Each structure stands twice: as C-alpha cells, then as structure tokens.
Amino acid sequence: MNATAPDDAMIRLDNVAKEYPDGTVAVHDLTLHVRDGETCVLVGASGCGKTTAMRMINRLVEPTRGTVMVDGVDVMSVDFHQLRRRIGYVIQQVGLFPHWTVRRNVATVCDMLGWDKKRVADRVDELLDMVGLPPEEFGKRYPHQLSGGQRQRVGVARALAFDPPVLIMDEPFGAVDPIARDHLQEAFIDLQKRVRKTVVIVTHDIDEAVRLGDRIAVLRTGGYLDQYATPAEVLGNPATPFVAEFTGTDRTLKLLAVTPVESGALEPLTPDASSLDRVPHDASLREALALLLDSNQGKLVVEDQAGEPEGVLTLNGIQESLKASAA
C-alpha cells in the first residue's frame, strides 16, 4: 500500500528499500508522507523495520533504493551535519552523556554551533522548562540522579535544542513504567500542541500509537505498510487481517477512547435533562460510556463548547458515533 499526502508533506519516503550488507531486507518498498505539523507513529511488531525506516529520515541508515525528502530536500544531497540540525533525534535508550550535567547535555548542540554563553544558558532554561524540568532544580544533576522518565525528557529537550522542524523518536517512552509512561505521553501531547513539529515516533505499542498519532502507519515484517490512517480509521476499519490482529480484539474499546461524542448522534433535550449527569463536548465516548453505565439513568446530557446543555446521549448514540468515526 502506498500512503501519500498532498503537497504539504514535510517528510516523504518514496519507494524506499533497505537491504543490509548481510542480505537482510528490513524495508522492501515503503512510501510514506508525513504532513507538516503532524505526528506520525510507526507501529508494528519487533523486527518489522520501524527503526530502519525511521533512521532513513536522518540518514543514519542509507536507503538502497528510493528517495527520502525532508522539507523538499533529498536527504542524500545535503551535508550530514546540516541535516542533523534540521532533525531532532531521540533514541531508544536516551543516550545522555553520564558524566555531564543535565544542563551540559542539553547545551551540547548549541555549544557546537558556537553560540555565546548567555544565549546557550537562556536556551537551555527555556528547553528544560518546556519539558517540565525546572532548570534550577534539575540543571545541575547528572543523568544517574534522574528517574528514567526524567532522563527521557532531557533527551527530548536536547533534541529540540536547534528548534528543528522535524523530530524523530525511537520508542521514546519504552523504558519506563506504565505510570511514568502515561505522564510522558501526556507531556508530549502538551508540548507538541505548543511546538507543532513534524514528528515521527516509533513504537510497538498500539495503545501508545493511538494516543499520540494524528496518523498511524502500521508496518508488517519486511517494512510493508499495511495501513496509514487516523487512529479512528485504523481501529474502526483495519485494512488487512494483519492490522486487525495487531490492533487486537478489543479495538472497539480503544476506538471509544479516541472518539469524541458526535453531535449528530445526540437526541433532543428532554424535560428531565436537568437531573441527568453531564459530559463536556470534547469527552471521549469511553468517558461518556463509563458515566452512562454508572448513572443507571440510561442517558446523559452532552454540553456544548460554552458548557450549555446541547443534547441527550444514549447507548444508541454512542453506537452511532462509533460508526461515524470509523466510516
């Protein structure tokens, strides 16, 4: 399958293949375009070629066939160091320098550019604040004095130092416990709302993909792209048996979590509306369903953007919303 986007693609992989010198073909023929300002998550089982595909974006892996363009430029035609400045990279195991403080780790790239001390210091403060690590508290620590999740955030701050338009992240939240992971994902979503980079994230966790991705690319062994679509589309309409299996038999539950209440599925307000539980307009269907099951009234009031009652939601409406989102 080929996944192309209109001309606003920041990253374009076109018919890209990678055969390693020992003959392993990690990626057979991959076409994938990522729109400017979107988060694309590459997801698939271990060994399916995710890391290989991602590393071709910043040329850490050179494709054996096809082209990779970033911001309109063929990555094979530009100076490697210049390319690294345009593409922030967060690797699987963070890769901080253990004998350097957090400040110095984050400052590396700015130092390399020869910025003056004041400018570097200001930028490091800004970056640490951005990832939720107050510089006065964390700046002087060494990596071993941080939790895994905090180290990960330092890695993100460092990758953002150049203010690159593109950020690529390989299993960035893989090494931490589920609660820390949840916080990091939330922090990433918040950060991305503010910085609006074009982001490619690799993960083998479908729940993470669904949560973080504007679009998710489901890869099958050999780097084949089975589906490239919004989380709702992938969960609601798996394109192949592999995608159906990979997204799991509980994909309807997952879909509930990423689908907002559809206003078309609401019923008119009834006189008893004032006694019903209420959910905000941007609540997910999962939240609405949980409340509905708890309330034992069989219906809820959905509020509009201003917080005023907009309509009544029943189980039937939840089903309608699900159908609409997967269509």
Ligand X SMILES: Nc1ncnc2c1ncn2[C@@H]1O[C@H](COP(=O)(O)OP(=O)(O)OP(=O)(O)O)[C@@H](O)[C@H]1O
3-state secondary structure of 288: helix
Give the number of residues written for the chain.
327
Out of 2, 4, 20, 272, which residue is the one contacting ligand X (CB under 6 A)?
20
Site string for ligand X, 41-80 (x = CB under 6 A): ---x-xxxxxxx----------------------------
- What six digits make up the tokens of 275? 């006694």
Kindly identify the residues of this chain, within the stretch 154-213, that bind ligand X according to CB under 6 A: 204
State the SS3 of 27-82: EEEEEEEEECCCEEEEECCCCCCHHHHHHHHCCCCCCCEEEEEECCEEHHHCCHHH
Task: Using CB under 6 A, count the residues that bind ligand X.
Answer: 13
Cα–Cα distance, 125 to 107 (Å, whole number): 10
Distance of CA 127 to the CA centre of its chain: 19
Out of 22, 79, 136, 308, which residue is the one contacting ligand X (CB under 6 A)?
22
Out of 39, 51, 105, 152, which residue is the one contacting Mg ion (CB under 5 A)?
51
Burial pattern 27-62, b for ≥16 Cβ within 10 A else e, equals bbbbbbbbbbebbbbbbbeeebbbbbbbbbbbbbbe
From 18-26, 101-109, 228-236, 319-327, span contacting ligand X (CB under 6 A): 18-26
Spatial contact of 282 and 260, defined as CB atoms under 8 Å apart = yes
Taking the least distance from each CB to ligand X, the nearer of 51 and 105 is 51
CB of 43 to ligand X, least distance (A): 9
- What six digits make up the tokens of 166? 């593109």
- Is beta strand 73-74 parallel, antiparallel or unpaired with respect to 65-70? antiparallel
CB of 19 to Mg ion, least distance (A): 17
CB of 323 to ligand X, least distance (A): 33
Asked if 220 touches ligand X (CB under 6 A), the answer is no
Residue 204 binding partner per list ligand X, Mg ion, none, with a CB distance cut-off of 5 to 8 Å that depends on partner kind: ligand X
Cα–Cα distance, 265 to 313 (Å, whole number): 7
CB of 170 to Mg ion, least distance (A): 6
Asked if 26 touches ligand X (CB under 6 A), the answer is yes
Asked if 39 touches Mg ion (CB under 5 A), the answer is no
Taking the least distance from each CB to Mg ion, the nearer of 168 and 255 is 168
Spatial contact of 234 and 214, defined as CB atoms under 8 Å apart = no
User: Which residues bind to ligand X, rule: CB under 6 A?
Assistant: 20, 22, 24, 26, 44, 46-52, 204
